Amino acid sequence: MRIVVTAKYVPDINTERGFSEGRVVRTAGEGTLNELDENAIEAALRLVEAEREAGRLGPGEGEVVAVTMAGPDGDVALRKAFQLGVDRGIRVSDDALAGSDYFGTAAVLAAAVRKLGEQAPVDLVVTGMAALDGLGSVVPTLLGAELGLPTLNLAKKVELADGALTITREIDDVTESLTASLPAVLSVTDGANQPRFPGFKLIMAARSKEIEVWSPADLGLDPAVAGTAGARTETLSAAPRPARPEVELVTDKGEGGVALADFLIRNDLV
Ligand SMILES: Cc1cc2nc3c(=O)[nH]c(=O)nc-3n(C[C@H](O)[C@H](O)[C@H](O)COP(=O)(O)OP(=O)(O)OC[C@H]3O[C@@H](n4cnc5c(N)ncnc54)[C@H](O)[C@@H]3O)c2cc1C
């Protein structure tokens, strides 16, 4: 069983984020692995571990490979992936890829999966449900379309049996069960699992683990399909929302109704 996990480098949501020319400013050293991709990594690791426990994988068999499309800072995301137990990390990088939109991102990630597939068969591609900076939630579907693979999205439960992947997902008040044969693309929600804490040994090993860097040329990819040149969308503007007005708290000691009426009158709300 060989699984590719997509791991995006995103600005830390706990830090203040800025925009420049319609793009998120990705300041060096302030980014991290997209938190929702930790669920994807956990799902992949569990599937491989389950195959090992069932005796369907021999010693040394089974691999989880993390792929990111990012600048050199993206190594931060891959090192975190190593800490969690990922075996191999690949960063697809090139100045020409800057400005990639959803289609460009999916084209590049798909090309990386295809290249990995030339080395040894890829059974499954697992992604998070969204990147916490872009929040498009479309890359998994576009990736499945690029690869021509069945795509199961927003899984809350994942099961693998007899070469078929079955997921359960919850949409409004409906619980759906979907199945597809492998190879396939899968996106998991943050409810799919609880990502593990990195162990000390893996933290130490992650520091010196090799990160492979691939260029569009290594992937046989025309850089014009991605980057600003290939973008089919354009951000017209991006600006922080104005700060919320201060909240007025009233401690109700019996006169709350009067205070509420007073607030509504003062703010011309009646
Ligand atoms: C005109 C334009 C220019 C842009 N320029 C840039 C830019 O210069 N730099 C930039 O970083 N973003 C840029 N973006 C944003 C970029 O297009 C999106 O971040 C990217 O397409 C992924 O979309 P998303 O973040 O909404 O991912 P989603 O669809 O929300 O992501 C779902 C899952 O896909 C996987 N995934 C998504 N992106 C990556 C990735 N890069 N590597 C690995 N896995 C991934 C993750 O597993 C993630 O959980 C630009 C967007 C537009 C519209």
Q: Is 239 part of a structural domain of the chain?
A: no
pTM: 0.89
- Confidence band for 90, pLDDT divided at 50, 70 and 90: very high
Cα–Cα distance for residue pair 145/117, rounded to 1 Å: 16
Sign for the pseudo-dihedral over CA of 1, 91, 29, 201: positive
Q: Give the structural domain span for 179.
A: 2-230
Do residues 214 and 92 touch, judged by C-beta distance below 8 A? yes
Q: Is 216 part of a structural domain of the chain?
A: yes
Number of neighbours of residue 146 by Cβ within 10 angstroms: 19
Residue 44 has pLDDT above 80, yes or no: yes
Cα–Cα distance for residue pair 162/182, rounded to 1 Å: 10
- What order of strands is seen across the sheet that includes strand 2-6? 151-155, 184-188, 124-128, 2-6, 63-69, 88-92, 211-214
Average pLDDT for the chain: 92
Q: What is the pLDDT of residues 147-192, one digit of tens each?
A: 999 999 999 999 999 889 999 999 889 999 999 999 999 999 999 9
Instruction: Confirm or reject: Cβ of 152 under 6 Å from ligand 1.
Output: no
- Confidence band for 20, pLDDT divided at 50, 70 and 90: confident
Q: What pLDDT, on the 0 to 100 scale, is given for residue 27?
A: 62
Q: What is the pLDDT of residues 119-153, one digit of tens each?
A: 999 999 999 999 998 899 999 999 999 999 999 99
List the one residue out of 185, 178, 76, 86 whose CA is nearest residue 129. Answer: 185
Nearest CA to ligand 1 atom 5: 99
Residue 200 has pLDDT above 90, yes or no: yes
Instruction: Confirm or reject: Cβ of 68 under 6 Å from ligand 1.
Output: yes
Q: Is 235 part of a structural domain of the chain?
A: no
Residue 15 has pLDDT above 80, yes or no: no
Listed range (6-10, 157-161, 237-241) with the worst mean pLDDT: 237-241
| Mutation to probe ligand 1, out of 97, 105, 235 (largest number of atoms < 8 A from CB) | 105
Cα–Cα distance for residue pair 114/71, rounded to 1 Å: 21
Tell which phi-psi region holds residue 98, choosing left (phi > 0), alpha (psi between -120 and 50) or beta. beta
CATH number at residue 16: 3.40.50.620
Q: What are phi and psi of 89, to 5 degrees?
A: -130, 130
Residue 13 has pLDDT above 80, yes or no: no
The CA 133 to ligand 1 mean position distance, Å, reads: 8
Q: Look up residue 131 and give its two tokens.
A: 């990147």
**Full DSSP string of 63-129:** EEEEEEE-SGGGHHHHHHHHHHT-SEEEEE--GGGTT--HHHHHHHHHHHHHHHHHHS---EEEEES
Q: Is 23 part of a structural domain of the chain?
A: yes
Name the domain count of the chain: 1
b/e code 108-138 from CB counts within 10 Å (16+ = b): bbbbbbebbbeeeebbbbbbbbbbbbbeebb
Residue 210 has pLDDT above 90, yes or no: yes
Q: Is 173 part of a structural domain of the chain?
A: yes
List the one residue out of 41, 39, 52, 43 whose CA is nearest residue 1. Answer: 52
Number of neighbours of residue 67 by Cβ within 10 angstroms: 26
Q: Is 70 part of a structural domain of the chain?
A: yes
Q: Is 50 part of a structural domain of the chain?
A: yes
Nearest CA to ligand 1 atom 39: 8
- Confidence band for 205, pLDDT divided at 50, 70 and 90: very high
Higher pLDDT among residues 14 and 263, named by residue: 263
Q: Is 246 part of a structural domain of the chain?
A: no
| Mutation to probe ligand 1, out of 100, 151, 188, 234 (largest number of atoms < 8 A from CB) | 100
Q: What is the pLDDT of residues 48-82, one digit of tens each?
A: 999 999 999 988 899 999 999 999 999 999 999 99
